[in-house]
Structure 1
Amino acid sequence: ILILRRKFQPIQLLQIPLSFLFGYFTDFGMWAFSWASPELYPLRLVNICCGTIILGFGISFCVIANTVMNSGEAFVKAISDTTRKDFGTLKICFDVSCVCIALVLSLVFFDFTIQGTREGTLIAALCTGIVIKFFTPRLRQPLERFIGCHHARQEEFSA
């Protein structure tokens, strides 16, 4: 609201329940795939890379369709829309900033040790925006065509 001011749309308040839903599905996914946690380090790197690609792909769809997003991405989108800067680049800056804050807080609150942040977190922070920058221009035209076609059909049926 503070960033977008008059451009803020009340539908964006759906980010609040969406965050709870996202958290639930994240926990559910972690539980459902707990059996698939690889022990070998190279396989863990493959997991983080696959997860980052899937996440970036999904965020690209949300950015193009301009839908309600998780609050982290919506914050970046608000800054992107306001400053007219590239979403993917701002996403990298935001994610790296969050990792830096997490590292500082970990050092402060856990006796100068790093807890809960490792190379996978850094890989995801650096690469999610890159994946978004890759997919967004490639998906924009087909998705906008699909949304436009779908919207036209809805108008036909409601008329």
Structure 2
Amino acid sequence: MSIKMSNTELFKRYLLFIISLFCTAMGVSLAVKGGLGTSPISSVAYALSLNTPISLGYLLFIWNMTLLLLQIIILRKNFQKIQLMQIPLSLIFGWFTDFSKYIISADSVPNHYTVRLILTVVGMITVALGVTLSVIANVVLNSGEGFVKAISDKLHLKFGNVKIAFDISCVIMAAVISLILSHKIQGVREGTFIAACFTGIIVKFLMKTLNKPVCRLLNIKN
């Protein structure tokens, strides 16, 4: 961040960011519980978790570290050292994901399709809430957004266009991984495409609704 702030405000912002990580992790776990596919950025780690004994949280951490390494390679001397905070925050996110999966028993999927669809939608909304809070916190990018921004800055492309291409690439990678490991597509279903189409719309709505109230509550600047 370029905005100067007190240590108290910085603490509040990081606390808000950690809360946003928990919301995002809970949203991912709810989508996993629904069994109709998770968000595009989580789909690669999810596909791997379905075919390996490694937990989803740990695989998400590895995936985020891969994206961070790619940021460093792409940006080189233009990489901002504050973005190294992605390492401990990604570790916390991975732990939150495994913890939330445990408390909602995400490994057992309901039989009724309507219930599964509701869980998927609620998960998407919860992820959108987490993304919104992280944007309001405005302290560090998550690894996915950081990677997209690195490509956008390096190639002088619009962030939104790169984000769409990145999401599509994640879904394709998840499908290929599952085909190689299990000879069928796993983890990429209608829920993945619902999340891809509507998460951004929900984030825009929540930003308009929550930005000022949250900043006022925490006494932080917009």
CA change 1:40–1:148 in 2 (3 A) is closer
Superposed structure 1 runs of 4+ greater than 6 Å apart = none
Q: Are residue 101 (structure 1) and residue 101 (structure 2) matched?
A: no
Distance of 1:50 and 1:72 partners within structure 2: 22
| Structure 1 equivalent of residue 130 of structure 2 | 58
SS in 1 for 2:193: helix
Deviation at 1:49, TM superposition (A): 0.8
| Structure 1 equivalent of residue 201 of structure 2 | 130
Identify unmatched segments of 5+ residues in structure 2. Answer: 1-71
Report 1 or 2 for greater relative contact order, CA contacts < 8 Å, sequence distance ≥ 6: 2
| Structure 1 equivalent of residue 97 of structure 2 | 26
Larger Rg: 1
8 Å Cα contact 1:103-1:114 kept in structure 2: yes
TM-score by length of structure 1 reads 0.70
Q: 1:45 aligns with which of 117, 120, 129?
A: 117
Q: 2:187 aligns with which of 87, 97, 116?
A: 116
RMSD of the TM alignment (CA)? 3.3
SS in 2 for 1:117: coil
Deviation at 1:74, TM superposition (A): 2.6
Q: Deviations over 1:12-58 (max 9, x none)?
A: 11212222211111111011011885331111111111111111122
CA change 1:138–1:93 in 2 (3 A) is farther
TM-score by length of structure 2 reads 0.53
Distance of 1:125 and 1:41 partners within structure 2: 20
CA change 1:149–1:77 in 2 (3 A) is farther
| Structure 2 equivalent of residue 154 of structure 1 | none
Amino acid at match of 1:85: K
Q: Are residue 150 (structure 1) and residue 220 (structure 2) matched?
A: yes
Q: Deviations over 1:46-101 (max 9, x none)?
A: 111111111112212322432224312332344566647355x6544422320111
Identify unmatched segments of 5+ residues in structure 1. Answer: 152-159
| Structure 2 equivalent of residue 85 of structure 1 | 158
Distance of 1:137 and 1:6 partners within structure 2: 35
CA change 1:143–1:9 in 2 (3 A) is farther
- Percent identity, aligned pairs only, is 49
Q: Are residue 74 (structure 1) and residue 149 (structure 2) matched?
A: no
| Structure 2 equivalent of residue 156 of structure 1 | none
Amino acid at match of 2:177: L
8 Å Cα contact 1:99-1:122 kept in structure 2: no
